[in-house]
Amino acid sequence: MKRQDIGAFNKKKTSSINQILKDIIRDRRLYLLLLPFIAYYIIFIYKPMGGLVIAFKDYSIYKGIAKSPWVGFKYFEKFFGGPYFWRLLKNTLVINLYLLIFGFPAPILLAILLNEVRQVKLKKVIQTATYMPYFISAVVVVGIVTNLLSPSSGLITNFFAKITGERPYFLMLPQYFRPVYTTMSIWQNLGYSSVIYIAALAGVDTELYEAAVLDGAGKLKQIWHITLPGILPTIMVMLILRIGEMMSISTDSILLLQQPSTYEVSDVIATYVYREGIRGNNFSLATAVGLFNSIVALVLVWTANIISKKVTEEGIW
């Protein structure tokens, strides 16, 4: 590189740095608003990552992380070679697959339906009614489900009894656990999950709908050819993120809803970690399982993003 080119490059670099500094000074109040979020991620997300070393040590609270002896992949082998590994993996994936197939499209459908409601008051009432369950404690939600499915006085059980003449205890039967949990999760998260799609729908150009009406397109054709393509980038991003959560599940809801008779279909990795790792004070095992979940989640997100980019040209990076 010539001396003149080096000088021009350095001058351009200095100019860019000065411009960045000017922008930061100009928008300093906005950057100050970011500080709490940056501090949160540093303190509660990135700093605890150093504790992943516990997965490779025979961790003792009294000895601390530094003085606990190294054991290598002992706890990974214990988890993978355990008698419940395949059952835990299967249940975790199957329940999440239920939620992906039935739960993921539900908020999209709700957002589209709400977008077609023209009465503002009715729209607000529906939105409020669907948002509220998200803010209800998992204990209360499971309590409501338990009362509805009570074999003696449950509303759903009474309706089922009038049709079939039987009064089964749904929560004690393994074949009903996954449908019950899936339905409960969809009901609780439906309204809150639809918010981002409602926001995305607000960005769709209304002139496209007007042109479609002039061309004689009905509501269904408008939704299929305008609404869905308009929010497709948002759908794909949310789908990729949802696939990344295939190894995680709401531990508290599962623990509150499951019964000993349903362990065969309800025992998931999260409940195993709680039972063996947290309640049993085996923190090394809990950390090993958590690290395994994180690696699998990263692979799933990466794979889903690659497929999404090839199929729809949309992705999160």
Give the pLDDT mean for 201-217. Answer: 87
284 pLDDT higher than 80: yes
Q: Which CATH fold would you assign to the domain 61-311?
A: MetI-like fold (1.10.3720)
**CA–CA gap between residue 46 and residue 212 (Å, rounded):** 49
101 pLDDT higher than 70: yes
144 pLDDT higher than 90: yes
Max Cα distance, the chain (Å): 93
pLDDT computed for residue 14 by the predictor: 67
| Angle CA 12–17–22, to nearest 5 | 125
pLDDT computed for residue 10 by the predictor: 57
Q: Give the start-to-end residue ranges of the domains of the chain.
A: 3-52, 61-311
65 pLDDT higher than 90: no
| Helix or strand run (H / E) with residue 27 | none
pLDDT computed for residue 205 by the predictor: 85
pLDDT computed for residue 4 by the predictor: 53
Share of the chain above pLDDT 90, in %: 38
Beta-carbon neighbour count of residue 103 at 10 Å? 19
Which tens digit of pLDDT belongs to each residue from 113-138? 998 888 889 988 998 999 999 999 99
pLDDT computed for residue 190 by the predictor: 93
pTM recorded for the entire structure:
0.83
Range in 104-108, 185-189, 220-224 with the lowest mean pLDDT: 220-224
Mean pLDDT of the chain: 87
The answer to whether the Cα torsion of 253, 255, 261, 265 is positive or negative is positive
Share of the chain above pLDDT 70, in %: 95
Strand partners, 317: none
Give the pLDDT mean for 179-187. Answer: 94
Over the Cα atoms of the chain, what is R_g?
A: 26
Tokens of 261: 């008779």
pLDDT computed for residue 7 by the predictor: 54
Range in 27-31, 55-59, 262-266 with the lowest mean pLDDT: 27-31
* 181: exposed, middle or buried (Cβ count in 10 Å: 0-12, 13-18, 19+): buried
**CA–CA gap between residue 270 and residue 289 (Å, rounded):** 9
Which tens digit of pLDDT belongs to each residue from 221-270? 898 889 999 999 899 989 988 998 888 888 889 999 988 899 999 999 98
